[in-house]
Amino acid sequence: MKLSHLSETLIGSEIVKLGSEIKEKIRLGERIYNFTVGDFDPSIFPIPKELEDAIVEAYRKHFTNYPAAEGNLDLREAVLSFTKDEEGLDYGTSEVLVASGGRPLIYAVFRAVCDKGDKVIYAVPSWNNNHYTHFVDGEHIVIEAKAENNFMLTADDIRPHIKEATLISLCSPQNPTGTTFKKEELEAICDLVIEENKRRGEGEKKLYVMYDQMYWHLTYGDIKHYNPVSLRHEMRNYTIFIDAISKVFASTGVRVGWGLGPATVISKMKAILTHVGAWAPMSEQKAVAHYLHHNREGIKRFLSHFKSEIEERLRRIYDGFMKLKNEGLSIDAIAPEAAIYLTIKIDLVGKKTSEGKTLTDQSAVTAYILNEAKLAVVPFYAFGASRSSAWYRLSVGTCKKEEINEMIGKLREALKKLS
């Protein structure tokens, strides 16, 4: 049966495909160290107790009707106050839009800004930019980011493609890499955008930046989060922020997100989502508004504990990979900077198994470490990178600390079987 061009050409998710394979192995009784999901195990990382209580209380008060299309005023005011205090970004109520997490907002940005054939610049590996560009039938300007830049885009990467581009999609801290923009590099990108928009004539469509900062609270050590508007005030006219409670409060299923940006863009995004109906539920909106307004000290306590638990897992796994590397095994990793992800390298193409089978490509490597080491991680080619990329995303949102040494030991055994 023939369906729409979009549905016939939309690419399935490599992550979902891998996840299905892992679930089947677990169903059959295999012990799998599953580091694939960009989510949290609530038994390890529960949402803040004050937020949980506020959600329950909101339902008991029967907040179960439709919310305002742009988000309830009390929530928008709470988001703006929280964002101003925590990040120094000062926006008004007409410049914020609430939705059911970040995804509808990202979709609305693409729909509001891009026409068919418009150029969209994004890096790979990155999360879902290829699919959102496909939704609007845009022209994919794909830049393969480099390990030497911690897989973050640079101004030099963007410069050859910036003329006539409509949207640059940026994310920091980055999913899948867990790496961040350095101040000087983000400033250079901002300067490029400002210069390009000054070049464009009256009535010509401007170049916008979508800045996904879903993980911005989760930085470690000396790493600092930067955003375009704080670095270059003129970027306020061209930047749409995507943010949510999803990652910072381990609340992926609570589904409350927000976008900040120019009122003209936000109003069009609102109109689009009004027809899609992707509103955050009324009770969750009431609860998040109360939580952000009245629990600032509780938020600090939660984040202090939450971040230390995530960082401990990331650093212990990183240290374990460095030990394997120092033993001469074909392993590498980038020191953890932010988010819940560790970027690791498993470079085994061309190696032979104990049965004499050659690992001919990266898909074979992924299968080998899953079957032999019982380690499940997501290859960067699932995020649009080259099929030959030996890099992977390892997520610690469901990681039990007692499994870390065990997982490293199993991986060591599997690697030593190769020749």
Which pLDDT score, from 0 to 100, does residue 242 have? 98
Angle at 96 between CA 68 and CA 237, to 5 degrees: 145
pLDDT for residue 372:
94
Is the pLDDT confidence value at 16 over 80? Answer: no
Quick one: pLDDT band at residue 19, thresholds 50, 70, 90?
Answer: confident
Decide: 139 and 282 in contact? Cβ < 8 Å: no
CATH fold for the domain made of 49-294:
Aspartate Aminotransferase; domain 2 (3.40.640)
Residue 391 near residue 385, CB atoms below 8 Å:
yes
What confidence score (pLDDT) does residue 106 get?
Answer: 98
Taking CA atoms, 177 is separated from 52, 117, 201, 336, in Å, by 30, 29, 37, 9
CA distance 98 to 113: 18
The CA distance from 413 to 295, in Å, is 48
3 state SS of 121: strand
pLDDT band at 203 (very low <50, low <70, confident <90, very high): confident
* Cα four-point dihedral sign 398, 403, 405, 410: negative
The mean pLDDT of the chain is: 96
Residue spans of the domains in the chain: they are: 5-45+300-416, 49-294
Which residue spans within 175-220 are E strands per DSSP?
208-212
Would you say how long the chain is, in residues?
A: 419
How confident is the model over 344-367, as a mean pLDDT? 95
pLDDT for the residue 1: 77
* CA nearest to 260, candidates 90, 142, 122: 90
Contact (Cβ atoms closer than 8 angstroms) between residue 33 and residue 404 = no
Token pair 């989060």: residue: 225
Question: In the predicted model, is pLDDT for residue 171 greater than 90?
Answer: yes
Helix (H) or strand (E) run with residue 5 in it: helix 5-9
101: left (phi over 0), alpha (psi -120 to 50) or beta: left
Question: Quick count: other Cβ atoms within 10 Å of Cβ 6?
Answer: 10
- The pair of three-digit structure tokens given for residue 93, joined into one six-digit string: 């109520």
What's the CA angle centered on 98, arms 384 and 46, to 5 degrees? 75
User: Considering only the top CATH level, what class is 5-45+300-416?
Assistant: alpha beta
Distance separating alpha carbons of residues 93 and 16, to the nearest angstrom: 37
Q: Is the pLDDT of residue 142 over 80?
A: yes
Residue ranges with strand state E in 253-365: 257-260, 331-333, 341-346
CA nearest neighbour of 392 among 333, 352, 313: 333
Nearest to 64 by CA among 290, 253, 289, 283: 283
Residue 297, token pair as written in the block? 């000290």
Per-residue pLDDT reduced to its tens digit, 222-247: 999 999 999 999 999 999 999 999 99
75-90, pLDDT tens digit by residue?
999 999 999 999 999 9
Beta bridge partners of 99: 257
H or E, element range at 224: none
CA dihedral sign, ordered 98, 100, 103, 108? negative
- Could you read off the pLDDT of 268-292 as tens digits, one per residue? 999 999 999 999 999 999 999 999 9
